[in-house]
């Protein structure tokens, strides 16, 4: 997260009253969650019971896409639009919650699902906390 915080500090204009720590944490969580979900989907595809993991795979990939998009949107500050920021945070929080719930169903049998659910819960919380701090 050091580089994320450094980039936020280096931004040439005022970021306003946004909580920089929550912003940095949310960006980091999004960019960590996306590949975790992609990896979980790939691991599910390698499982013998792949047919029973279809919803998990789909949820993983949807979550990965939304996390990546959210991290990118949060990393841009020029022309900031609070309504758009809230919308992507809400979408990401929802995707992370759905993915975590699905992966938790398989966590006892598949370690990759347990790890993914844990990461999704972290990202869900980071998105919710940042959105709440926006006022």
pLDDT digits (tens, 9 = 90+) for 95-121: 999 999 999 999 999 999 999 999 999
pLDDT score recorded for residue 61 = 98
Binned at pLDDT 50, 70 and 90, residue 71 comes out as very high
* Structure tokens that stand for 24 in this block: 């940095």
In a domain, 122, yes or no: yes
Residue 32, class by beta-carbon neighbours within 10 Å (0-12 exposed, 13-18 middle, 19+ buried)?
middle
Q: What's the CATH code of the domain at 62?
A: 1.20.1270.360
In a domain, 14, yes or no: no
Determine contact, residues 60/38, Cβ cutoff 8 Å. Answer: yes
Residue 124: other Cβ atoms inside 10 A: 22
The share of the chain scoring above pLDDT 90, in percent, equals: 79
pLDDT score recorded for residue 8 = 84
User: In Å, how far are 14, 54, 87, 111 from 81, measured between CA atoms?
Assistant: 14, 36, 10, 39
Q: Which domain holds residue 86?
A: 19-133
In a domain, 3, yes or no: no
Residue with more model confidence, 134 or 60: 60
Residue 54 to residue 21: CA distance in whole angstroms: 36
Tens of pLDDT, residue by residue over 32-68, are: 999 999 999 999 999 999 999 999 999 999 999 999 9
Evaluate the CA torsion angle 69, 74, 79, 82 in order and state its sign. positive
In a domain, 7, yes or no: no
Q: What is the pTM of this model?
A: 0.94
Average pLDDT for 65-72: 98
The total number of structural domains that make up the chain: 1
């Amino acid at each position: 997260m050091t580089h994320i915080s450094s980039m936020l500090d280096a931004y040439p204009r005022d970021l306003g009253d946004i909580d920089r720590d929550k912003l940095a944490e949310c960006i980091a969580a999004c960019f960590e969650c996306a590949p975790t979900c992609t990896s979980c989907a790939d691991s599910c595809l390698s499982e013998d019971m792949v047919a029973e993991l279809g919803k998990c795979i789909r949820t993983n990939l949807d979550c990965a896409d939304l996390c990546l998009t959210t991290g990118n949107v949060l990393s841009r500050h020029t022309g900031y639009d609070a309504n758009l920021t809230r919308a992507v945070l809400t979408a990401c929080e929802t995707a992370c919650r759905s993915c975590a719930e699905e992966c938790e169903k398989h966590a006892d049998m598949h370690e990759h699902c347990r790890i993914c659910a844990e990461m999704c819960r972290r990202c869900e919380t980071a998105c919710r906390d940042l959105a709440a701090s926006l006022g």
